[in-house]
Amino acid sequence: MSMKPLVLVDPVQSLRRCIRPSITHNVNPPKGTRDFPPEEMCLRNWLFQNFREVFIQYTNFYFPTWHCLYDVEYYVSQLFGFEEVDYPVLESEALYLRKVGEEIRDQLCCFEDRGNCRVALRPELTPSLARYRCLKTIPMFFSVQKICAPPDKMGKAELTSSIVTFFKRIGITTKDVGFKISIRKLYFEDNVPTDLKSTISQAKQHHLMQNLWYGDLKW
Amino acid sequence: MAPATVDAFMAPATPLSADNSDVNATPHASRSSSVSSPPYQAVDYSQKIDVNPRKGTRDFPPEDMRLRNWLFQNFREVSQLFGFEEVDYPILESEALYIRKGGEEIRDQIYCFEDRGNRRVALRPELTPSLARLVMQKGQSLSYPIKWYAIGQCWRYENMTRGRRREHYQWNMDIIGVPDVTGEAELISSIVTFFKRIGITAKDVGIKISSRKVLQEVMSLYSVPETSFTKACIIIDKMGKITIEELKKELKSIELSNDAIENLLQVLSIKSFTELEEKLGGTGEAINELKQLFSLAEKFGYSEWIQFDASVVRGLAYYTGIVFEGFDREGKLRAVCGGGRYDRLFSTFGGDDLPACGFGFGDAVIIELLKERRLLPEVPLEIENIVCSLDPDLKGAAARVASVLRGKGRCVDLVLENKPLKWVFKRAARINARRLILVGSAEWEKGMVVVKILSSGEQYQVNVDELE
């Protein structure tokens, strides 16, 4: 059959009717978020590649961090024999509700989804790690932000070392950055007189520094 | 002297300073008055928190993450082979970007909400609108043609009774500024290249190609309301998922006459160019473009992968020309990937139209396909070296050895605790270590370490500075 066309259907008009024409599309990304055009993407990939090579075997690249640019604490080294993991960007809001006066709590990007569940875009990764760890009993699950198995000085020293390695790798020196170290636990030891706390922490610090001898680590 | 401030790793400390400044108070008083409640309250997660990821979402433990990285690495390498540049956009976008009234499934399932500033936002269901937005944002500063790729997570709100995923990752490649079918030919070539690269052959998958201009030409023969074209395409995409009766009913509801519907359905069953030419005549744009594409495919060398199939329309409102979709020849799986030309998207966003074509390739179906064909790769954990001190006092020494090796770019798993050798060997096996490096007091006194090659059992001593 070959009929002469009556009116050529115009997909443009059809599309325009379907897509609401009154929207003035804002070409900028939502407030506080970033686009990554080619140049920025190159830089990000370079940074993440260095993270990857120095830090955990592989870690999730594509998550929006709601606080710092690239939270260094969330990565540990491939060189250091860590394994990369990832978790959903969307988690239950309950995961982040702690009775602490933290900045994170106030800035939680949370909402109620269509199933009336309280969810949140993750502001940090640790709670996901904790949740995951409860799910599976994996011995020696070294990962992301914290080393799960040994909560001792070696663990922390290892982490510091990996960060130092990362800095050196991307050309940052001790003149540019340093580490301030303290021990949180100390503040909650009830049976320690307050005036002793400062001296004890000094001693503990010294001990910690001793263990931080990783070649020329004078950070 | 007060201890140094915040630990590098920990979240910003709560404002304790006010409480702890009262150094003269007795311990008891300090506990009750200045520290009203412990700043860190151990929340019992196991009772309050569901340890599973939210319904429809996935965790990526190490094994899964290695597989994902392998897949993404292949996406990336193919894109780079074709000279594309990587980009990315926020996962969260304004909901307005996705408002289309064509009846698309994607529209019904947008994961949207109102943020605390009362703005309607959405977790992106696809990447193309973000691409359009960024291209428009960059304006004159871009040089054409643009060839960009992205690998990003996309979301949909699914009713969980169907047990479907709510998130997936999608590899997108798009060419902006090329009006000819050479653009589509290049894109299909990249998909074929990807398949070949991961061991999939033309016997496993194929790519069905058609053009929305075919439907456009058919519908032109009848007086059809303007809005109906786009809606018709979306309805026709459901062919195979709903019965013919339902399909006809839906087409009627958008004011297509019975004649128009019959003719459309006839055309949709066409699988050869000759038949199509008989139906539409040989001079239309639709036929010409398709023939051009198939001819190019031959030059590219992937003719055996593609076939014409008039029933392919794809389910997105904005395709205007060539459309294609990758399918599993055994017919068990959903579409592996899909794409097409969308020359009119930019004007619907308030910009100037730019010729554009692209595709989306999800991470779920391809993995299922690889599993079916037993082509899933082995991506074991492999950490070359494991370093361990034989003496608790030599922990620092072991750390030094690890640093030396890492400084030379070698991967090292450092044993962080006092563990028996039996444990160390077991761990070495788990991480597929090639070498075990032991720091023992006798050797360390001479500045040496013991290196053991795990496969052969051979071992030797070496000076720590000469470690490679």
pLDDT attached to residue A32: 82
**B222-248 pLDDT, tens digit each:** 877 767 888 899 999 998 889 999 999
- Tell me: pLDDT of B23 over 70: no
Sorted by where each starts, the structural domains of chain B and their CATH numbers stand as 62-372 (3.30.930.10), 381-466 (3.40.50.800)
pLDDT attached to residue B22: 38
- Comparing CB atoms, the residue among B7, B102, B222 nearest residue A6 is B222
The answer to whether A41 and B87 have CB atoms below 8 angstroms apart is yes
Q: Characterize B256-295 residue by residue with b for buried, 16 or more Cβ atoms within 10 angstroms of its Cβ, and e for exposed.
A: beeebbebbbebbebeeeeebeebbeeebebbebbbbbbe
What pTM, to 2 d.p., does this model score?
A: 0.78
The answer to whether A81 and B431 have CB atoms below 8 angstroms apart is yes
| Chain B interface disruption, residue of A2, A27, A111, most B CBs within 10 A | A27
pLDDT attached to residue B99: 84
- Tell me: pLDDT of B346 over 80: yes
Alpha-carbon distance B122 to B157, whole Å? 10
Q: Dig out the tokens for B58 from the structure.
A: 């996935």
Q: Chain B, 69-98: which have a CB under 8 Å from a chain A CB?
A: 69, 85-94, 96-97
Residues of chain B contacting residue A194, judged by C-beta atoms under 8 Å apart: 20, 22-23, 25, 27, 30
CA-angle at A153, arms to A150 and A155, nearest 5°: 45
Share of chain B above pLDDT 90, in %: 66
Half-sphere exposure of B429 (CA within 13 A, CB side): 5
Alpha-carbon distance B365 to B361, whole Å? 9
Q: Is B364 exposed, middle or buried (0-12, 13-18, 19+ CB in 10 A)?
A: middle
pLDDT attached to residue B51: 85
B35 or B399: which leads in pLDDT: B399
- Comparing CB atoms, the residue among A115, A143, A195 nearest residue B23 is A195
Q: Dig out the tokens for B201 from the structure.
A: 């052959």
Q: What is the mean pLDDT of residues B370-389?
A: 93
pLDDT per residue rounded down to tens, chain A (219 residues): 445 555 556 666 666 555 543 334 578 888 888 899 999 999 999 988 888 777 643 222 222 222 222 223 333 345 666 667 787 888 888 777 765 556 666 778 888 777 777 888 888 788 877 776 665 433 222 333 333 333 456 666 777 777 788 888 888 888 888 877 766 655 544 554 545 444 545 555 555 444 443 333 344
| Chain A interface disruption, residue of B58, B64, B65, B101, most A CBs within 10 A | B65
pLDDT attached to residue A8: 55
Minimal CA–CA distance to B386: which of B369, B371, B398?
B398
Q: Do A14 and B230 touch (CB under 8 A)?
A: yes
ipTM associated with this complex: 0.75
Q: How confident is the model at residue B203 (pLDDT cuts 50, 70, 90)?
A: very high
pLDDT attached to residue B153: 96
**B72-100 pLDDT, tens digit each:** 999 999 999 999 999 999 999 999 899 87
Residues of chain A contacting residue B38, judged by C-beta atoms under 8 Å apart: 188
Q: Number of Cβ pairs closer than 8 Å across A and B? A: 356
Residue that the structure tokens 């289309």 belong to: B100
Q: Dig out the tokens for A91 from the structure.
A: 């988690």
Alpha-carbon distance B392 to B382, whole Å? 26
- Tell me: pLDDT of B192 over 90: yes
Question: B420 touching A, CB under 8 A?
Answer: no
A138 φ, ψ (degrees, to nearest 5): -115, 115
Q: How confident is the model at residue B440 (pLDDT cuts 50, 70, 90)?
A: very high
What's at A8, amino acid-wise? Answer: L
Q: Do B320 and A15 touch (CB under 8 A)?
A: yes
Question: B27 touching A, CB under 8 A?
Answer: yes
- Tell me: pLDDT of B122 over 90: yes
pLDDT attached to residue B143: 94
Q: Characterize A47-61 residue by residue with b for buried, 16 or more Cβ atoms within 10 angstroms of its Cβ, and e for exposed.
A: ebebbbbbbbbbbbb
Question: B388 touching A, CB under 8 A?
Answer: no
The single-letter DSSP state of residue B304 is: G
Alpha helices in chain A (DSSP H): 11-18, 38-54, 103-106, 126-135, 153-169, 194-211
pLDDT attached to residue B133: 94
Q: Dig out the tokens for B69 from the structure.
A: 């990285």
pLDDT attached to residue A10: 63
Indicate the SS3 state at residue B164: coil
Q: Do B4 and A181 touch (CB under 8 A)?
A: yes
Q: What is the mean pLDDT of chain B?
A: 87
B10 or A128: which leads in pLDDT: A128
Write the CA distances from A136 to A117, A130, A151, integer angstroms: 24, 10, 19
The kind and range of the H/E element at B171 are strand B167-176
Distance of CA B136 to the CA centre of its chain: 24
Write the CA distances from A177 to A157, A163, A174, B83, integer angstroms: 17, 11, 5, 38
